[in-house]
Amino acid sequence: MGLLSLAIWTPIAFGIVLLALGRDEQAGTVRWVALVGSIVSFLVTLPLYSGFKLDTAAMQFVEKASWIERFNVNYHLGVDGISMWFVILTAFINVIVVIAGWEVITRKVNQYMAAFLILSGLMIGVFSALDGLLFYVFFEATLIPMYLIIGIWGGPNKIYAAFKFFLYTLLGSLLTLIALIYLYIQSGGSFDIAAWHKLPLSATAQNYLFFAFFAAFAVKVPMWPVHTWLPDVHVEAPTGGSAVLAAIMLKLGAYGFLRFSMPIAPDAAREWATFMIVLSLVAVVYVGLVAMVQQDMKKLVAYSSVAHMGFVTLGFFIFNPLGVSGGLVQMIAHGFVSAAMFLSIGVLYDRVHSREISSYGGVVNTMPKFAAFALFFAMANCGLPGTAGFVGEWMVILGAVKFDFVVGLLAASALIFGAAYTLWMFKRVYLGPVTNDDVKELTDINAREFVVMALLAIAVLYMGLYPKPFTDVMEVSVANLLQHVAASKLP
């Protein structure tokens, strides 16, 4: 087994072990096995960075074995500068989620922990797959554990939210499956994604393929106007589910644009770039305004995620190195910051059992350590310089200004809206006098919660102050992608 196979199957194997452990009487053992499994799974991914060659756009750590010989389907894995960091990010967030759910989850603990470990392995499979059918299997399989996480451990309307999540994402994926079969036929019976990048497709075929992929990836991002499932799902999902959904699962859609839509249908991608930019700007501006009027903290951060992911798709479709690299950096930064925001809301919810902003006020008086972390993450969510939230947004804005000043100006307005809704929420929840008995009786974060907050704070600060390791890895691969997209593939 190569490194990527270990990264995929280690958490899945630990997840299966957890399912075998059984009843809640063994919850203590289950938690420790889950923690060991998540840490081992994270450590397995670290050699991907230490052994990564920065001077090539070729796939690295490649593994290939025949899977379904009759249809020429291969178990084909590899990462480049676009996908490598997402493998490590997925494994890191999994460790955080296991620690965060340590005391909070008391029912079906083994199934809860197993669902996250298996989900982690499947998402790493999405980022590593170089075979079209293998990608599709991993991409669709991620729905199952997340559906169960929402449907079993979610809030009062969990069944409605789980069905909405499943149906929205499944419907678009069916069109993608048709596109994959079409490409398989056109390439003479190959599911090799790299071979698909070289196919001379007609303008009509490219347009159909672009929108077939768009149906799956735009819903997953989610882009406006197919974003309406996200706030409902976030509100009902358990804290760990919200953290993983925002930090990793939304990235699967954005990653799909870079791996499928743009390189396979480059002429269609350029033709529909204005359409994609308009949708992205609507997400950045309009959804930012929608976030401002939310009374539920989780809904506010969910809409904030839609606005931040609007930056990502905007960066991709302005077709310059700053924009695409900025979009990728924003994806990684959003992984840290959004996970931190949802876990912070989870800390309050575990104590007060309310997500309504009006239920709080003056939390800083009773939870000063936690309030300090919450302020730091709120600033990162606003895009404060020195935090991870700033780097990607700044790169995308610079790229957008180079592309078109008005586009850059509209994109920059997100920094204002982001500061408005995030700081207004912080003011009403944390600052001022204590407003009710629930807040008066709050206790500050314990050692476990401190570790979770500290790990995320270190990641957000490190990336904000020194983004070079992230940008260096993606530079050559981004340049190669843009060069490929610039060259017409019309026969």
Average pLDDT, rounded, for the chain: 85
At residue 490, the pLDDT reads 67
Residue 340 CB partners (closer than 8 Å, separation 6+): 373, 377, 380, 453, 456, 457, 460
**pLDDT computed for residue 123 by the predictor:** 92
Q: Which of 292, 259, 310 is nearest to 130 (CA)?
A: 259
**What is the distance between the alpha carbons of residues 368 and 365, in angstroms, rounded to a whole number?**
6
Kindly report the length of the chain: 491
pLDDT for 39? 92
Q: Which residues pair with 60 in a beta bridge?
A: 79
Residues of the chain with pLDDT under 50: none
Instruction: State how far the Cα of 163 lies from the Cα of 140, in Å rounded to an integer.
Output: 15
Q: Tell me: the pLDDT tens digits for 235-277?
A: 888 888 888 888 888 888 888 888 888 888 888 888 888 888 8
Spatial contact of 130 and 197, defined as CB atoms under 8 Å apart:
no
Distance of CA 479 to the CA centre of its chain: 23
Q: Can you give the pLDDT at residue 491?
A: 63
Token pair belonging to 337: 């910051």
Nearest to 475 by CA among 54, 47, 48: 54
Asked whether 230 and 84 are in contact (CB, 8 A), the reply is no
